C-alpha cells in the first residue's frame, strides 16, 4: 500500500518538543516560535513572519489587516481550497471567482481586470502546487486599481517567482504547515508581511487585540486591549516540531523534487502519446515539489484510473470541487465571466503519492500501474 501522504518527520521533532516542555514555555511566542519566524524571515527576505495556528487563520488575519468589510469583493480562483474564500467571506465580503489557466491551474491573470468593480478590494491569487501565478501582471493590475494582494501561498514554502519567495510579493502571504504540506507542525501556518507599517497591527490582532507582544519586548509597561482581535498564535510545542523541519527544509524540498522529476520523466511517454497532460512550470518559477498532478481525458477516465490504482495499493486522489459550484460558493460568491477551464480541468486532474520519504521504487511502482491502466 502506497499512501497518498505521510506527514514529514525528521527525527529531531520529539527532542525539540521535549525541550519546549522543559522550557516551561508551551504557550505561544516561546523560543521555538521565535527561531521559526526568524528562519522564515531570513529565507524569504520578508519584513515580518508571524506563526499562526493555520493558513486559514493567517488568511483571516490578512483579511482583517486589509480591512475587508461587508459588501467588498475579493477576486480569486474557484479552483482552490475553501480557506481562500472563507477568510474573506467571514468578513462579509463576496468571493468573485475568475477562471484558471489550464497549464498551471492558477488564476488567469488576463481575466482579472474585467472582474474588477468599484467594490473590489483585493486579489487573492493561489499558487497551485507551489507553482507561481503570473505575479508581475497581477501586481501591476493591483497597483493600477489600488487593490490589496493577499497570496494564498499555503503550498509554497521555499518556492519562488523570479527569485522572490512566494508569499512575499503581495501585501500579505499565507503559508500552511498542515501535515499535508511540505513542512509541518501538525496544524499551523504563518503570515508574511511585506510592509513594516502593518506589523504592529498584525501583532495586536494575533494576540486577542492586545499589545502583549510589545509588552514582552519591554516596550510598554502594561498590556491593554488596543483593537479587535483573535487568538492566532500556535503553542511553542507545535513550533518545536516545525523547527526540526525547517532545519532540514532544503533536504526535504530536494527529496520531493527528485521524486517529482522521476514522475515527470517516467510519465513523459504518456504525454507524448496524448494520453495524459503533465504539469507546466512557466519560466521564472522555481517550485518546491509540493505536488505531482496529471490530467486524464475526463472525469470518467479519472474515476476508473483512481479505482484501478486503489485496487493495486496506490492511494491517488483528486481535488478541488470548484468553489462556485458548492453550496457556500453559490451563497457567498459569484463566477465572473465564462467557466471555460475551472470545471473541466478540475474533473480531469488527479494527484499521485508525494511525500518526503517516498522512495524511488515507490514511484516506479506507481508509474508502472498508471502505464498498465493505459496499456502502455
Ligand atoms: C492547505 C491549504 C490551505 C489551508 O491550510 P490550513 O493550514 O489547513 O488552514 C489553504 N489554501 C490552500 C491552497 C491549501 O492548499
pLDDT of residue 314: 98
CA-closest candidate to residue 346, choices 76, 75, 80, 4: 80
pLDDT of residue 118: 98
CA-closest candidate to residue 122, choices 179, 80, 59, 175: 59
How confident is the model over 196-249, as pLDDT tens digits?
999 999 999 999 999 999 998 899 999 999 999 999 999 999 999 999 999 999
Most informative mutation of 5, 56, 351 for ligand 1 (most atoms within 8 A of CB): 56
Interval 307-314 mean pLDDT: 98
CA of 146 to the centre of ligand 1 (A): 26
Q: Are the C-beta atoms of residues 278 and 271 closer than 8 Å to each other?
A: yes
> DSSP assignment of 274-290, as one string?
TS-B-----TTEE----
DSSP assigned state of 223: -
CA-closest candidate to residue 292, choices 321, 316, 314, 320: 316
- CA atoms of 112 and 87, how far apart (whole Å): 20
Whether ligand 1 lies within 6 angstroms of the CB of 238 is answered as no
- CA atoms of 202 and 31, how far apart (whole Å): 20
Pairing of strands 172-176, 189-193: antiparallel
How confident is the model over 17-26, as pLDDT tens digits?
999 999 988 9
pLDDT of residue 359: 98
Task: Give the chain's largest Cα–Cα span.
Answer: 72
How many CB atoms neighbour CB 268 within 10 A?
Answer: 12
How confident is the model over 86-139, as pLDDT tens digits?
999 999 999 999 999 999 999 999 999 999 999 999 999 999 999 999 999 999
Reported confidence tier of residue 61, pLDDT bands at 50, 70, 90: very high
Most informative mutation of 63, 82, 155 for ligand 1 (most atoms within 8 A of CB): 155
Average confidence score pLDDT of the chain: 97
Interval 266-288 mean pLDDT: 98
CA of 189 to the centre of ligand 1 (A): 9
pLDDT of residue 107: 98
- Percent of residues, the chain, with pLDDT higher than 90: 99
CA-closest candidate to residue 175, choices 284, 83, 307, 292: 83
Q: Are the C-beta atoms of residues 134 and 155 closer than 8 Å to each other?
A: no
CA-closest candidate to residue 294, choices 260, 328, 325: 260
Q: Which helix (H) or strand (E) holds 254?
A: helix 249-272
Q: Are the C-beta atoms of residues 8 and 245 closer than 8 Å to each other?
A: yes
Interval 350-362 mean pLDDT: 98
Q: Are the C-beta atoms of residues 206 and 233 closer than 8 Å to each other?
A: yes
Does the pLDDT value for residue 310 go beyond 90?
yes
How confident is the model over 153-167, as pLDDT tens digits?
999 999 999 999 999
Interval 177-197 mean pLDDT: 98
pLDDT of residue 25: 86
Whether ligand 1 lies within 6 angstroms of the CB of 291 is answered as no
Most informative mutation of 5, 53, 55, 151 for ligand 1 (most atoms within 8 A of CB): 55
Q: Are the C-beta atoms of residues 224 and 163 closer than 8 Å to each other?
A: no
Reported confidence tier of residue 67, pLDDT bands at 50, 70, 90: very high
- Percent of residues, the chain, with pLDDT higher than 70: 100
Q: Which residues contact 213 (CB under 8 A, 6 or more apart)?
A: 29, 203, 204, 206, 207
Amino acid at each position: 500500500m502506497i499512501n497518498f501522504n505521510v506527514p514529514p518527520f525528521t527525527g529531531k521533532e520529539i527532542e525539540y518538543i521535549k525541550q519546549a516542555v522543559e522550557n516551561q514555555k508551551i504557550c505561544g511566542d516561546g523560543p521555538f516560535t521565535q527561531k521559526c519566524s526568524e528562519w522564515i524571515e531570513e529565507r524569504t527576505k520578508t519584513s515580518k513572519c508571524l506563526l499562526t495556528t493555520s493558513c486559514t487563520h493567517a488568511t483571516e488575519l490578512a483579511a482583517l489587516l486589509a480591512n475587508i468589510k461587508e459588501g467588498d469583493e475579493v477576486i480569486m480562483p474557484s479552483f482552490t481550497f475553501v480557506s481562500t474564500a472563507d477568510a474573506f467571506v467571514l468578513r462579509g465580503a463576496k468571493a468573485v471567482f475568475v477562471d484558471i489557466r489550464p497549464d498551471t491551474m492558477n488564476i488567469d491573470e488576463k481575466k482579472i481586470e474585467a472582474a474588477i468593480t468599484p467594490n473590489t478590494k483585493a486579489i487573492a491569487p493561489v499558487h497551485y502546487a507551489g507553482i507561481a501565478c503570473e505575479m508581475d501582471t497581477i501586481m501591476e493590475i493591483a497597483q493600477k486599481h489600488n487593490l490589496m494582494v493577499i497570496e494564498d501561498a499555503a503550498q509554497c514554502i521555499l518556492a519562488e517567482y523570479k527569485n522572490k519567495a512566494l508569499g512575499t510579493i503581495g501585501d500579505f502571504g499565507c503559508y500552511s504547515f498542515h501535515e499535508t504540506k511540505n513542512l509541518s507542525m501538525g496544524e499551523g501556518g504563518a503570515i508574511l508581511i511585506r510592509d513594516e507599517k502593518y506589523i504592529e497591527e498584525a501583532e495586536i490582532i494575533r494576540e486577542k487585540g492586545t499589545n502583549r507582544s510589545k509588552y514582552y519586548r519591554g516596550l510598554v509597561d502594561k498590556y491593554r486591549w488596543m483593537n479587535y482581535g483573535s487568538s492566532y498564535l500556535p503553542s511553542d510545542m507545535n513550533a518545536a516540531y516545525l523547527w526540526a523541519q525547517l532545519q532540514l527544509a532544503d533536504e526535504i524540498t530536494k527529496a520531493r523534487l527528485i521524486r517529482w522529476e522521476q514522475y515527470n520523466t517516467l510519465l513523459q511517454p504518456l504525454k507524448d502519446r496524448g494520453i495524459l497532460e503533465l504539469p507546466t512550470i512557466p519560466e521564472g518559477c522555481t517550485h518546491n515539489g509540493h505536488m505531482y498532478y496529471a490530467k486524464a481525458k475526463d472525469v470518467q477516465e479519472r474515476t476508473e484510473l483512481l479505482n484501478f490504482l486503489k485496487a493495486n495499493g496506490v492511494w491517488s486522489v483528486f481535488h478541488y470541487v470548484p468553489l462556485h459550484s458548492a453550496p457556500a460558493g453559490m451563497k457567498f460568491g459569484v463566477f465572473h465571466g465564462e467557466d471555460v477551464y475551472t470545471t473541466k480541468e478540475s474533473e480531469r486532474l488527479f494527484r499521485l503519492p508525494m511525500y518526503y520519504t517516498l522512495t524511488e521504487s515507490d514511484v516506479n511502482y506507481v508509474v508502472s500501474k498508471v502505464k498498465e491502466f493505459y496499456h502502455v
